[in-house]
Each structure stands twice: as C-alpha cells, then as structure tokens.
C-alpha cells in the first residue's frame, strides 16, 4: 500500500505541552501531572485523580482551548500543505468523546432550577462536531470536516478515516487527531461504571484497580507527500469490531489481536519488524487481561518492548490514540544513536493470571533498529484500532 506521511505532531497534556517535553517525561516515567480533583455531586464531595492540562489558548471553551494549543504547532506544515494543494483539498478528522458537556451541563442545571434553557443554548452544542469544525476554521480549510466519536479509540479512528479520505482521492492532506477534557460528567460516568481507581493507575499489575482520567489534545498533518524532513509514514491502520459487550472487551483479546494482525498485514510487516508498542493499558482488570492475551497471540512469548503511558497522562479518552501515537513518532525521529523508550510505570507486581508482556524498564535501545512502532487503542463496544508508523528517508522537496 502506498504510504502516507505524518507531520511532527502538535500536542498538549499534563505531561507536556510539546512533543520533546512529553517524550522526555514519558521516558523518565514522570506522573506528577496526575493530581487530585474534588467535585460535588448529589450533595456529596468526590475526589478523583485527574491528568489536568493547561490550555495555552482561549477559544471559548476548555475543549477548544486544548485544540487551539495543540493545533498552533502545526501551522507551518499546514501552510505548506495549503500552498501545495489549496485549502479546498485539505480536510479535518477529529475524534472526541466529551460532546459538549461544557455547554450542556450548565444549560441543564438552568433548566432543572428555573424551568428553561438559556436563550443561547441549542441541542447541536451536544454534538461531536465542534472540535472538527473548529479545526477546519482554525486554518481556513475548505475540505471535509469529519467528527469521529468511537469512545477511547476516537482519535485513532480519526487517523484511519483521514487515510481513507486521502487514498480515496477526496483530500491531499488532512488534519487528524483528537481532544478531550475530564469533565464532571465524564468523571462521574466512569465512576458509575466502577472503572475509576482512587489510586494512581497501575496497568497490568496484580493490584490494578482501574483508570485515572486525563485531558489533552494531539494532532498531525497526514498527507500524500512529506511536508517536512522528519519523514514518518503511516504504514497501516488495522481495525476490528468484536462487539462482545457495550463496555467490556472480548475477554480472550481476539478483537484486539485481530486489529493488530490487520495492521501488520496491511503494512506487509512481520511482528518481529515492530520495535515498540504503545499499549492501550488502562489499568482496568478486563482491558489489561484482554490486551495481554492479544499481545501474546500476536508477538509470541518473547514479546516486543511495550509500555502503557496512561499512568503519566491519565486516560485522555478521545485524545489518547493520537497522543500516544505522538510518542511513537518521537521514538522514530530521535537523533540519538541510543534512545530510551517510554517507561512502563507500575508497581512491578505482575498478575499471574495475565500473559507476560515485555515492559520497557528504562533501558537504552539502538535507535537505528526501531523502524516501526505500533499504537493500540481499544474502546467501548469492541472498537479496536492498531496503527503502525515507520521511518523512511526524507522526501520533502522544500
């Protein structure tokens, strides 16, 4: 399959406001950005651990401020894309889960307390569309603007849809990624599912108790030609839908393995070609069990260097796929002869019921041997996405 090209990403999360800061923090295993947050619901106070980001831009809402903060980094690449193909040939695909709680929650509080919605409130503010519409308007794009909301796989699904737009001849470049906030609604919703940990998340440990939520945004320019000298290719997007349960994964990891194998087949690669896997790794009992089984099925008993970076950022939901793919991008483009990969931060106590995973422990790896990385995103409803990116010789003709 003809490769597509990823620009250097723009991002923001509690672990860093640019790629280098985020990658360095991930390699050190820093998790100080996940902090307590107290909210009041039903007359009672609840404390959650949240990866709270700090938007550098004011765009009217916290969610759009995160988008603007991450998108600003892409401006030079977008300018080159517009100069090459025109704004009408450039689209936007943006994944998000929040879907307007910043607008809808205050409006519903007004309704329940006063019997009516505010005059400036409308139902379309609860749609998934605003981040995609904002992204297109931010750069003055005139191509398709698509909103993608596939729960925790949203921004990974957005990258897959962006690739389809280019390969289908609809666009020549697409701004692709995602953003999410840790709103009160999201925190209480995951708490109702008994998926939230009151301790720092501990993926794949025998002592794991669930997730910490986080917020952030991450975007790439995906294009049919390289726009800068850090030529990283989107080698393949593998997808599956196991539809086993509304929220739980297929317990044997069959859906997750199917997505990883689909990506490998599409990229014409062997498991041994993958140098690093960024795991979905939420720290919930069911997700970690299924993903460990899938990793063993795909990569065998020797495994591949892998880590979950959600202990460092919190689970950023719709932003997670793109944010974690950004770490894979950094691993492929670091100029050092030997590099560290993102650390797997946990208590080091394995669960004997899980298949073994080759977790990154902070060791050095020859950067020249890491040619391909995989990022996993597995969501509610059995929506599974695995993305492989690779390193090629620069082809930009600037």
pLDDT, one tens digit per residue, over 39-62 is: 876 677 889 999 999 998 889 899
pLDDT of residue 15 exceeding 50, the answer is: yes
Closest to 155 in 3D by CA, of 173, 133, 131: 131
349-371 burial, b for 16+ CB within 10 Å, e for fewer? eeeeebbebbbbeeeebebeebe
Structure tokens at 294: 């899938």
Indicate whether 396 belongs to any domain.
Answer: no
What stretches of the chain adopt beta strand conformation (E)?
4-6, 10-13, 34-41, 44-51, 90-95, 145-148, 173-180, 213-214, 216-223, 232-241, 274-278, 306-307, 338-340, 364-366, 372-379, 383-391
Q: Are 180 and 319 in contact (CB under 8 A)?
A: yes
| CATH number, domain containing residue 291 | 3.40.47.10
* Mean pLDDT score of the chain: 93
Q: What is the pLDDT of residue 45?
A: 86
pLDDT, one tens digit per residue, over 289-309 is: 999 999 999 999 999 999 999
**Alpha-carbon gap, residue 275 to 245, rounded angstroms:** 32
Q: What is the pLDDT of residue 395?
A: 47
Q: Could you list the residue range(s) of the whole structural domain that residue 183 is in?
A: 4-391
**Alpha-carbon gap, residue 143 to 174, rounded angstroms:** 8
Dihedrals φ, ψ of 52, to 5°? -90, 120
Dihedrals φ, ψ of 389, to 5°? -120, 155
Q: What is the pLDDT of residue 18?
A: 97
Active site residue 108: no
Active site residue 171: no
Region of 254 on the Ramachandran plot (φ > 0 left; ψ -120 to 50 alpha; else beta): alpha
pLDDT, one tens digit per residue, over 353-367 is: 999 999 999 999 998
Number of independent structural domains in the chain:
1
pLDDT of residue 210 exceeding 80, the answer is: yes
Point out the catalytic residue in the list 97, 315, 344, 373: 315
Report pTM. Answer: 0.95
- Higher-confidence residue: 293 or 2? 293
**Alpha-carbon gap, residue 216 to 310, rounded angstroms:** 12
Closest to 41 in 3D by CA, of 172, 160, 189: 189
CA 372 to chain centre: 18
Indicate whether 191 belongs to any domain.
Answer: yes
Indicate whether 84 belongs to any domain.
Answer: yes
Q: Find the mean pLDDT for residues 280-293.
A: 96
Find tokens 């600037």 and name the residue: 398
Instruction: Work out the pLDDT band at 244, boundaries 50, 70, 90.
Output: confident
Indicate whether 398 belongs to any domain.
Answer: no
Q: What is the pLDDT of residue 143?
A: 98
pLDDT, one tens digit per residue, over 159-182 is: 999 999 999 999 999 999 999 999
Indicate whether 397 belongs to any domain.
Answer: no
pLDDT of residue 232 exceeding 70, the answer is: yes
Point out the catalytic residue in the list 14, 27, 152, 383: 152
**Alpha-carbon gap, residue 278 to 309, rounded angstroms:** 7
pLDDT, one tens digit per residue, over 134-162 is: 999 999 999 999 999 999 999 999 999 99
pLDDT of residue 248 exceeding 50, the answer is: yes
Active site residue 280: yes
Q: What is the pLDDT of residue 398?
A: 44
pLDDT, one tens digit per residue, over 55-112 is: 988 898 999 999 999 999 999 999 999 999 999 999 999 999 987 888 887 888 899 9
Instruction: Work out the pLDDT band at 123, boundaries 50, 70, 90.
Output: confident
Indicate whether 198 belongs to any domain.
Answer: yes
CA 318 to chain centre: 6
Q: What is the pLDDT of residue 393?
A: 55
Q: What is the pLDDT of residue 229?
A: 80
Indicate whether 133 belongs to any domain.
Answer: yes
Structure tokens at 386: 């695995």
Indicate whether 288 belongs to any domain.
Answer: yes
Q: What is the full DSSP assignment across 228-252?
A: SSS-EEEEEEEEEE----SSSPPTT
Closest to 305 in 3D by CA, of 334, 340, 276: 276
| Cβ-based burial of 9 (10 A; exposed 0-12, middle 13-18, buried ≥19) | buried
Q: What is the full DSSP assignment across 159-170?
A: HHHHHHHHHTTS
């Amino acid at each position: 399959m003809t490769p597509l090209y990823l620009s250097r990403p723009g991002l923001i999360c509690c672990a860093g406001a640019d790629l280098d800061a985020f990658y360095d923090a991930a390699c050190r295993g820093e998790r100080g950005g996940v902090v307590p947050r107290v909210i009041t619901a039903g007359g009672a106070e609840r404390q959650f651990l949240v990866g709270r980001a700090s938007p550098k831009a004011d765009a009217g809402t916290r969610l759009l401020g995160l988008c603007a903060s991450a998108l600003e980094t892409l401006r030079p690449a977008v300018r080159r894309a517009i100069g090459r193909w025109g704004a009408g040939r450039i689209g936007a695909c943006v994944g998000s889960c929040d879907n307007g709680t910043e607008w809808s929650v205050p409006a519903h509080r007004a309704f329940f307390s006063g019997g009516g919605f505010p005059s400036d409130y409308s139902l379309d503010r609860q749609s998934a569309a605003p981040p995609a519409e904002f992204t297109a308007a931010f750069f003055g794009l005139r191509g398709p603007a698509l909103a993608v909301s596939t729960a925790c796989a949203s921004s990974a699904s957005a990258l897959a849809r962006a690739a389809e737009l280019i390969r289908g001849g609809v666009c020549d470049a697409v701004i692709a990624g995602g953003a999410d906030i840790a709103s009160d609604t999201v925190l209480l919703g995951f708490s109702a599912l008994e998926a939230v940990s009151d301790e720092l998340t501990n993926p794949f440990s025998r002592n794991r108790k669930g997730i910490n939520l986080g917020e952030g945004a991450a975007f790439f320019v995906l294009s049919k030609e390289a726009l800068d000298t850090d030529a990283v290719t989107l080698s393949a997007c593998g997808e599956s839908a196991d539809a086993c349960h509304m929220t739980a994964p297929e317990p044997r990891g069959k859906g997750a393995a199917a997505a990883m194998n689909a990506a490998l087949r599409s990229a014409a690669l062997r498991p041994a070609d993958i140098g690093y896997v960024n795991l979905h790794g939420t720290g919930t009992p069911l997700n970690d069990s299924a993903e460990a089984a899938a990793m063993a099925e795909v990569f065998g008993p020797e495994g591949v260097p892998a880590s979950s970076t959600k202990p460092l950022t919190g689970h950023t939901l719709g932003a997670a796929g793109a944010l974690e793919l950004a770490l894979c991008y950094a691993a492929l483009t670091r100029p050092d002869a030997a590099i560290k990969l993102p650390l797997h931060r946990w208590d080091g106590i394995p669960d004997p019921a899980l298949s073994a995973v080759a977790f990154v422990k902070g060791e050095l790896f020859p950067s020249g041997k890491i040619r391909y990385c995989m990022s996993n995103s597995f969501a509610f409803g059995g929506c599974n996405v695995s993305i492989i990116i690779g390193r090629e010789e620069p082809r930009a003709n600037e």
